[in-house]
Structure 1
Amino acid sequence: MDDITDWVLAVLVPLAAALAGALLMLAFRPRGDARLAERLDALAARMDEAAAAQQDRLHRTLAENAERAQDSARRIHERLAVIDAARGNLEALSGQVNSLAALLGNKQARGAFGEVQLRDMLADRLPAEGWAWQHTLANGTRCDALIRLPFPPGPIAIDSKFPLEAWQALRTAPDDGMREAARKRLATDIRRHVEDVASKYVCPGETAEGALIFLPSEALHADLHALHGGLVAEAARRGVYLVSPGTLWAVLGAMRALMRDVRLKAEAAALRREVAKLAEEALRLDRRVANLRRHHAESQSDMDQILLTTQKILSTAARIEAVEMEPQPAGRRAAE
């Protein structure tokens, strides 16, 4: 707006000065100088036209600048609306993060959260008959879930109650000393929990030779492999495998494929048994058809014999009917 004002002043000031000079000359000119008066009138007319043109351009420029200012203000308002919506989303996300932190800080709520997550994944990836929830093993231990795989490898038990207190203390430790203490505590918790799962969740003859520990956090899974890779490998040698939501998703996909193969093999075996039964029925039908054919041939032979006997009887009857019975002489009858 300041640039427009300076431009207007730069245009109008020379015009005003020229107009003032012309009026002074007109006031002090001799009365008889008509030609000078005409020139001054023409100059005044041109100055009026120039001033009108400048005023028209000034109006157009002001209108264009006002339109651009309105468009800029509209875009600013739109961006402010987007920023306000993003701020609302950040506040909502912050509330959700705080809620999640409170949830993970409560041991019972954290356990329920892990169980719900595990159950949803099992229900989504496996058929209903392929797994059991809160299954009790023969040793009296109740596992969170049991995946019913055929032998081998056999049913696999899953635990979802991994202790997270030491890991949370490790992530929030303010100094190296507390961080080292939390790391040692985490190693102790891992070793104790793996020992507990290996002794209770692996039952020879009832389950597979291994079990799964479900970790409800990808960050926890990554930290355990990064900080305590040796303990994770030791747990695997004992048949206890730590899985995150991502790795469990892949494992359940492989288990579902195995269940599908087992079901297909069972259906193929049932189909082979039905085909064998059908083959037996076909052999039985062939024997019965052969017997029927033999009986039919014997019946046909009997019918031919009956027809031959009938023809003989008819022929004899015809000959008998053709014989003429004549009276014999008396002497012949006496002789006879």
Structure 2
Amino acid sequence: MVVELLLAAVVLVVLAVVLWLLTTTRRELGELRQATAPADAVTELLRRQIETVRAEGREGQDNVRREVGDLALRMRGDIGDLQQTVATELKGVSSEVTHQLHEGMKLFQTAQTTMGERLDRAARVVSEVQGSLGKLGEATQRVVEVGKDIQGLEQILKSPKVRGGLGETLLAELLSQMLPQEHYTLQHPFKSGERVDAALRIGDRLVAVDAKFPLENFRRMLDETEEDKRRPVRRQFARDVRTRIDEIAKKYILPDEGTFDFALMYVPAENVYYEIIIKDETDLADDPIATYALSKRVVPVSPNSLYAYLQVIILGLRGLRIEANAQIILNDLARLAGDLDKVREPLRTLGRHLGHAQSQFSEAERALDRFGAKLETIERKGGAQAELPEIAP
């Protein structure tokens, strides 16, 4: 297609040249006709020029045809080489492009897989976050509900009787988790008609535990924000605690009824226990509450410190149990010693018999040895007689 276009272009160029020559000749002829009169010589000259031009045109056409043919041949060869080169280059480029496309597809697939995994992980994380947010919402709702319940419980516990019952319940639950049932009693009665909330059995004696505690003035003390107003309320709270200590010492420390000479005052909250035992009380004119309680042989305990006291009691119970088991073992050893004395004399008699039998056995063994020696002597003599020469007749 390219060759044909080139040939057509060359032909058009040649035709344009021929037309230009003809046009030029005609113009010259016209000028000659206008400038001079017609003459045969001029006509002949013009005819020869025309023939010359025609011959030159035919020769030029032949040369152009030859040049165009040669050019077409060369162009065909060049185009063939160019096509082969282009085909080779295109083949290489196609292979490279195909390889790059494969690599690109692999990278795209890998990136797509990685992106899919990341999207899956992101979806899982979002789902987990949504689940966590849902749980957090539920937990928040439960916290709100618990807050409402606590507020309602606070209203309920404003009654001293209900609050005392709750303290007894908490004490009973703690004892049930720490001690066997046979080592404590709830609502233990005394001869006076009083009942202590719990009595711990250590051996054959009791430790009284009282769970009732005055909290009204303590709550008022917490509600006061000014120190000047807190001080008189705190004094009233200290007087309430001392009054309760006196009641415990009077009602529940009864050694004639099997109690130890001390009792435990169960303080149901750690912050109250801190206020009584740990906090500095130098602003009070009286002795500290803890000192006053110990002087009355009443030991204040909180839920945490009661746990430690119960651990000590458990160790004491284990010691008593070990002591009881040791006594049983000692009794068994005494019985075994008596049985050993009973067996010792028969064993001695048996030993004497065995010694006599052993001596008899030794004597019999020696007699047997003597008998064997004599028998060997007789056998040797018999052998010697058999070896004597025979006497000829």
TM-score (norm 1): 0.60
Residues 259 and 175 (structure 1), Cα distance of their counterparts in 2 relative to 1, 3 Å cut? same
Residues 125 and 79 (structure 1), Cα distance of their counterparts in 2 relative to 1, 3 Å cut? closer
1:87 Cα deviation from its structure 2 partner:
2.5
Give deviations 1:199-240, integer Å, cap 9, x for gaps.
Answer: 111113421121001111111111222165811122112210
Residues 196 and 133 (structure 1), Cα distance of their counterparts in 2 relative to 1, 3 Å cut? same
Q: Report the equivalent of 2:293.
A: 235
Residues 284 and 78 (structure 1), Cα distance of their counterparts in 2 relative to 1, 3 Å cut? closer
Are 2:325 and 1:267 equivalent residues in the alignment? yes
1:179 Cα deviation from its structure 2 partner:
2.2
Q: Report the equivalent of 1:223.
A: 275
Could you tell me how far apart the structure 1 residues matched to 2:173 and 2:131 are? 41
1:183-198 superposed matches below 5 A: 183-198=234-249
> SS state of the match for residue 148, structure 1?
strand
The aligned length equals 229
Could you tell me how far apart the structure 2 residues matched to 1:284 and 1:256 are? 42
Could you tell me how far apart the structure 2 residues matched to 1:77 and 1:281 are? 80
Could you tell me how far apart the structure 2 residues matched to 1:119 and 1:83 are? 35
1:288 Cα deviation from its structure 2 partner:
5.2
Residues 73 and 147 (structure 1), Cα distance of their counterparts in 2 relative to 1, 3 Å cut? closer
Aligned pair partner of 2:338 in 260, 276, 280: 280
Are 2:164 and 1:115 equivalent residues in the alignment? no
Could you tell me how far apart the structure 1 residues matched to 2:192 and 2:312 are? 28
Aligned pair partner of 1:89 in 139, 142, 166: 142
1:178 Cα deviation from its structure 2 partner:
4.0
AA paired with 2:267? L
> SS state of the match for residue 157, structure 2?
helix
Could you tell me how far apart the structure 2 residues matched to 1:149 and 1:74 are? 58
1:173 Cα deviation from its structure 2 partner:
2.5
Percent identical: 26
Could you tell me how far apart the structure 2 residues matched to 1:100 and 1:188 are? 27
Question: What runs of 5+ residues in structure 2 fail to find an aligned partner?
Answer: 1-114, 282-286, 358-393
Q: Report the equivalent of 2:221.
A: 170
Could you tell me how far apart the structure 1 residues matched to 2:230 and 2:338 are? 75
Are 2:303 and 1:250 equivalent residues in the alignment? no
Could you tell me how far apart the structure 1 residues matched to 2:346 and 2:223 are? 86
Q: Report the equivalent of 1:200.
A: 251
Question: What runs of 5+ residues in structure 1 fail to find an aligned partner?
Answer: 1-63, 301-336
Residues 124 and 81 (structure 1), Cα distance of their counterparts in 2 relative to 1, 3 Å cut? closer
Give deviations 1:155-212, integer Å, cap 9, x for gaps.
Answer: 2100001111111111123544542332121011011111111111111342112100
Q: Report the equivalent of 1:159.
A: 210
Are 2:266 and 1:214 equivalent residues in the alignment? yes
Q: Report the equivalent of 1:312.
A: none
1:27-42 superposed matches below 5 A: none
Q: Report the equivalent of 2:58.
A: none
Deviating more after overlay: 186-195 vs 76-85 = 76-85
Give deviations 1:281-335, integer Å, cap 9, x for gaps.
Answer: 22123345567899x99xx9xxxxxxxxxxxxxxxxxxxxxxxxxxxxxxxxxxx
Residues 285 and 79 (structure 1), Cα distance of their counterparts in 2 relative to 1, 3 Å cut? closer
Could you tell me how far apart the structure 2 residues matched to 1:100 and 1:227 are? 31
> SS state of the match for residue 214, structure 2?
coil
